[in-house]
Amino acid sequence: MKKVLAVFASYHQLKRTKYCYKEMAWKSHTHYLLKTSWERWIKMCEEKEEESLEARTQKARRHAARVMEIKAFNLWVEFTGQQRKENRQRLLADRHYRATALPK
Distance between CA atoms of 66 and 73, rounded to whole angstroms?
10
Distance between CA atoms of 89 and 104, rounded to whole angstroms?
23
**pLDDT on residue 9:** 81
Distance between CA atoms of 69 and 100, rounded to whole angstroms?
46
Distance between CA atoms of 104 and 98, rounded to whole angstroms?
9
Distance between CA atoms of 35 and 27, rounded to whole angstroms?
12
Q: How many residues does the chain have?
A: 104
pTM over 0.85: no
| 29-76: pLDDT as tens digits | 999 999 999 999 999 999 888 888 888 889 999 999 999 999 999 999
pLDDT band at 1 (very low <50, low <70, confident <90, very high): confident
| 79-102: pLDDT as tens digits | 999 999 999 999 999 999 888 887
